[in-house]
Amino acid sequence: MRGVYEGRRRDRFCPPGYSIETINHESAGALQLESRNIVKVVIAKTAGFCKGVRVAIEVTMTAIQQRRKGEDICTFGPLIHNSQVLSMLAKKGVVDQSRIELCAGKKVVIRAHGIPPYSRQKLHEQGATLLDATCKRVAKVHAAIKRHARRGYHTIIVGDADHAEVIGLLGYTENRGAVINRPEQIDEFPSDWDKVLLVAQTTQNEEVFREIQKAFLNKYPNGIVKNTICDSTQERQAEVRQMCSQVEAMVIVGGLNSGNTLRLAEVARECRIPTFHVETEAELDSEVMGRYSCVGVSAGASTPNWIIRDVVDYLENMGAGAGRKLKFKRLIESLSYGNFYIALATALLAQMAAALTNMAGRASFSLMAAGYAFAMHSLNVYLDQDSIELNDPGRAAFYLKWRPVFMASSALSLGVALTVAYRIGFPNFVAMLLLMLLGVVYGVKLFLPADWQRFPVKIKDIPTSKTFLVPTAWASVCVLPYFTSDFPLRVAYAGWAIFLLCLVRTTMRDLLAIQGDRLVGKETLVVLAGEKTTGKFVVGALIALVVTAVCGPLAGVATRFSYFLIVPAAIYGFFLKIGSTRKLREDPIYEVLIEIVLIVAGLCATAWRLVY
């Protein structure tokens, strides 16, 4: 482990009762474990951002997006305990300030941990505009302490005295507050207190709180106890305890100064299992981790999914043959980043339009559709850098590195698509121009009158615009060669069927990218309605696709190939089911699987046309 032998970090990696020497002895003797592949990585369902952290970042990102020229934005103290996210915010000009005078005249985001009321008052006095991102759970504790303090209660807080949240809680006690973290400390308080309140830092260890609660009630039978530990914290700790009975070692991912992350590591060590608390995969050592055949991974509430995913990737790609496996995965990812699968899927969907309508399709139709899809997706990724960076920094770096290539190839693709459309006919050429115009202005600010600024200034900011416009564009470009045909009902049917198929595909990809989309405020359906409601919407779209597939041939507006659409509908339904229980779903491999469904369906359509 990099840095594992440094004394200041030893406690982070060793379970209680163990030392580095003990582990070395066991590895050489009693355990007799050889370095081998990790055959299984168990990922905690509760790992990753909690609601409070998401809200704090959403508030900050909204402030960045709405920032006026010359306006300064800062946070009062670190927004969350994650250095990687803080670094991203710093690149956008948002840094944390620890001194109130440095916040004068600025927009100041109150971090998720909250602040004492006197700090809030002083910020106002300095002319700061406050954007409150205090976690609602923490705010409820503030309210409870404040309410009891006004009635003369003394408040005992179970937590870490130097933690930002606890400092904020103490500010509401009216100077009648104290902080403890051990049951025996209850004996230090006067026995004649008749009004006493016991609360907890929201990220405290549940078992520690219960022990202190028992000692508290023994001394103050009439005292009031409020278990203010966040439900999310309790769930994470309970899941880690459960996982420790199923795995050989635990990796806890998150900031070294993150209270809730430290608690997870403590819980794992209490289970007497080798525990490794790391911020990134760079702190893991393959020789050490290679001793275990099953490793559990959990993470703190302020740890982005992409960091967790990098740790999981590291563990899954150790040992013999890992190099070849990793190279293959990198190739798959590069093709996904380069929009290869999107272009191929659209090209083959153009052939599906021909198979559904029984009209003559040409290879040039597929070339036109692929050129359009590749160009539009390549151009628009540069308008979505914020969400891409928060979902997958590796992808963002890839686009930055290859930007000139993407720009040049996108321009060439648009030229090819326009040329093919012109050769089909002038109406088709005009339709292609309109589609391209829609794609280009999708992420560009619209020039609206001053009194209209309350409305979205970009098409992509219109609620659910991406969810519905992308499949509309794909379906339109696939049936564009047949716009002027003598069978409008067949063309309309093919467009509707392809639209439904692409709607499911796009919505499922939105589910993958929900973390980054939430953080930058991208108004996809899943951000607007939530994951559960969006899942029901996908089920409804799949049912509509199956009904469409069955009714098309019966109504005489489609060939029997329409029945085949039931297969991709069933596969997407299966993906939706397993995806709802799978963590780290925004992995590029899952994106590829979603696109492959369309590619296989398109290949089957091509084969159908050759046979029939």
Active site residues: 165
356 and 494 Cβ atoms separated by less than 8 Å: yes
Kindly give, in sequence order, each residue whose CB lies less than 8 Å from that of residue 21, ignoring residues fewer than 6 positions away: none
115 and 75 Cβ atoms separated by less than 8 Å: no
44 and 268 Cβ atoms separated by less than 8 Å: no
553 and 562 Cβ atoms separated by less than 8 Å: yes
- Collapsing DSSP to helix, strand or coil, 296 comes out as strand
91 and 112 Cβ atoms separated by less than 8 Å: no
Write phi, then psi, for 69 (nearest 5 degrees).
Answer: -60, 130
Buried b (16+ CB within 10 A) or exposed e, 161-191: eebbbbbbbbbbbeebbebbbebeebeebee
Nearest-5° Cα angle at 252, 311 to 6? 90
- Collapsing DSSP to helix, strand or coil, 153 comes out as coil
Write phi, then psi, for 43 (nearest 5 degrees).
Answer: -105, 130
Give the full edge-to-edge strand order of the sheet including 249-253: 40-43, 294-299, 249-253, 275-278
Cα–Cα distances in angstroms (integers) from residue 395 to residues 83, 507, 590, in the given order: 20, 20, 14
- Collapsing DSSP to helix, strand or coil, 193 comes out as coil
Pairing of β 107-110 and β 249-253 = unpaired
- The strand pairing partners of 558, in sequence order, are none
Nearest-5° Cα angle at 420, 408 to 344? 65
202: which 2 tokens? 């929201």
- Residue 271: which of 302, 298, 308 has the closest Cα? 298
**Quick one: DSSP state of residue 182?**
S
Extended beta strands in 113-247, E state: 129-132, 154-158, 177-180, 196-200, 224-225
Q: How many helices (H) does the chain have, and how many strands (E)?
A: 26, 12
- C-alpha span between 235 and 575 (Å, rounded): 26
Q: Count CB-CB contacts under 10 A for residue 101.
A: 9
- C-alpha span between 253 and 243 (Å, rounded): 15
